[in-house]
Amino acid sequence: MEQKRNLKPKCELYHDHFENHKRYPIQKAQLIIADIPYNLGNNAYASNVSWYEGGEIANGESKLAGTQFFKTDKNFNIDNFFRFVKRLLKPEPKEIGKAPALIILCAFHQLAPLIEIAKEHGFKTFNHPLVFTKNYSAEVLKANMRIVGACEYGLVFYRDKLPKFNNGGKMVFNHMEFGRLEENKIHPTQKPLELLKKLITLFTDVGDVVIDPVAGSGSTLLASKILNRNSYGFEIKRNFYKEAIKNINEVEPTIVNGQKTVQTNIFDFL
């Protein structure tokens, strides 16, 4: 059960590289969630109708054909990322069931290499990846040629002790509905708020700290603020940063003056 108390969660998004985190007063995290760049090279929009002008092959290729999501994606340094995680995750606690966790949201092809790199940095993962299922796919152009992708993936990492786990006594399967994006889509790989709320509810309590070093639209911070978790994030693209700040400023925490404004515990999501 969530505690009722007066709490104004911190919610700070920095327009900077996460590598510059030492410039900012950031508390250590119970949970780091990172949707790392997919490194899809120049085929980020492959199979997607936006490869063509107006979504029509007859119109010829659009400016997105043969491009990556962002030029900066290829510069993403996974070892820098794990060094950041090691500095900013809370230390291992003495008690059982309170340890911090790292969730990486990623593409299928990143699962195996990430498990290996994480091991080199001292992190283990569970036997099963997170599989987020969708009943739609971006791969419209391949629909008559092959089975199309309709899942996204994730991995939960921890150091020694099992992470905090607020399952409320219920089984949580490793497959979950991805859901649909709510309004305010501002990023090509934006994650739905409800999905982030579910993950944050599972692995943290009210008042805990959540960090997203590659925040994009700020969806992790938005979900954290709504759930009265403190949050910090970084985003290098000015437009995303600006839009994210706008969205974050528009939401209110669910506990105001000690009163819950909406129900938020894991039973809402299962």
Q: Which residues bind ligand SAM (CB under 6 A)?
A: 17-19, 35, 37, 70, 72, 76, 187, 189-191, 213-214, 216-217, 219, 234-237, 240
User: Which residue, 7 or 78, is less far from ligand SAM as judged by CB?
Assistant: 78
Smallest gap, in angstroms, from Cβ of residue 261 to ligand SAM? 24
Residue with the CB atom nearest ligand SAM in the bound state: 216
Smallest gap, in angstroms, from Cβ of residue 253 to ligand SAM? 20
Q: Are strands 101-106 and 151-158 parallel, antiparallel or unpaired?
A: antiparallel
Instruction: Write the burial class of residue 6 (CB in 10 Å: 0-12 exposed, 13-18 middle, 19+ buried).
Output: exposed
Smallest gap, in angstroms, from Cβ of residue 80 to ligand SAM? 7
User: Which residue, 168 or 188, is less far from ligand SAM as judged by CB?
Assistant: 188
3-state helix vs strand vs coil in the chain, percent to 5: 30, 20, 50
Smallest gap, in angstroms, from Cβ of residue 256 to ligand SAM? 25
User: Which residue, 70 or 165, is less far from ligand SAM as judged by CB?
Assistant: 70
Smallest gap, in angstroms, from Cβ of residue 185 to ligand SAM? 9
Q: Are strands 151-158 and 124-125 parallel, antiparallel or unpaired?
A: antiparallel
User: Which residue, 159 or 191, is less far from ligand SAM as judged by CB?
Assistant: 191
∠ CA 62-76-14, rounded to 5°: 95
Smallest gap, in angstroms, from Cβ of residue 84 to ligand SAM? 9
Tokens of 128: 């099963």
User: Which residue, 17 or 90, is less far from ligand SAM as judged by CB?
Assistant: 17
Which of 8, 2, 49, 26 is closest to 215 using CA atoms?
26
Q: What is the DSSP letter of 262?
A: S
Helix and strand numbers (H, E) in the chain are 5, 11
User: Which residue, 53 or 73, is less far from ligand SAM as judged by CB?
Assistant: 73
